[in-house]
Structure 1
């Protein structure tokens, strides 16, 4: 889904201030929702009910959306921007769980199931707009439209499969292979063709890449330099440009 193709544009509300969609945006928002995985295959009346229950919030780049341990009362859905989900150890070290940036992706979803405190933290990687849906509203909509529960279970299943594959990667692959695989994943999700390759359109630093692959910043930095010398990628202005996708795929195969 490409939000640039949607005519709905969120107003310039105060940073992370709650704001309900206005009347002029109702149809555009309904169109957006009907294209998301969570609210696919719903009738117009149910989509309208969902739209009326949503609250829009805007976060600046690098602003925390919620902290691990915060009360969990709402589900979040990305409209635009990018979000990193991570957990913090007792020593303060961060382990990234997933990067999200596709319109319609959800996070903080455990809150609408059990209402327990947040099991992870979320931070906006870029200027980000999200919609929130309260636990009460979600449960009311599920009772009205069981298809939402089916869609929700499919989303959770996909997330669980992804987590399992990441655990398998950490257990069986060396750091170089994990880094190559993660760069391929990021290029597939956030890559854009440029003159000399594919640029990863994500605001992510080397420490955050390291936390995604279970490595230290130092080892990640060293491997990125190796990939650069091999002509696989180029680091420019804090961005990663993949120059040789075939070589990166070979590196990801170990």
Structure 2
């Protein structure tokens, strides 16, 4: 057990985070090394395991730790600051431009997702809720959203009239997430061109995002933006 000072019990997650960060800086936890598991740290610091989990997630979000399910938590070999894109309400984004927001639910079905979605969420070959929604600002398309939702994690969504409440809004208001992944790509509009009011060969920005509540998958969504759309990251 480390001889470094530990926070007095009971400690908040910030105190645990600061103590672990001090060990990273002092190389007590060396770059690339596994750190003790959550249960052992909880005993050492005299706190609940959930408190340790919250502290380690914060350090992972800041780029100092790398967490892998079933493989433990390691100190990042080359810590970097991460760029953050908050998950916004599409309605609020559209209304901030002065346009009138509206949306149309184009598809609602229960189906087995394609292999890439199932693999990304870790759900395996079981049925999820599949939703395709077109968000508009005035008469102009704002976002074409292709979303898969795990109703085991979000059972309340099954009872919602999604022609009256859009899924982006419901999930942001009702189901907090603990972590996620996000990727950007430029793609030809292809079959999405009609919905996005552009030519099939036009380049569009696609944001692919997956979120979890602890180990439980919530949603996988591809948001397709018309040509010329900009997004801002926070560092």
The TM-score by the shorter chain falls in which range?
A: under 0.3
Q: Which of the pair is proportionally richer in helix? A: 1
Taking structure 1 as the reference length, the TM-score comes to: 0.23
Taking structure 2 as the reference length, the TM-score comes to: 0.24
Bigger RCO (CA 8 Å, 6+ sep)? 1
Larger radius of gyration: 2
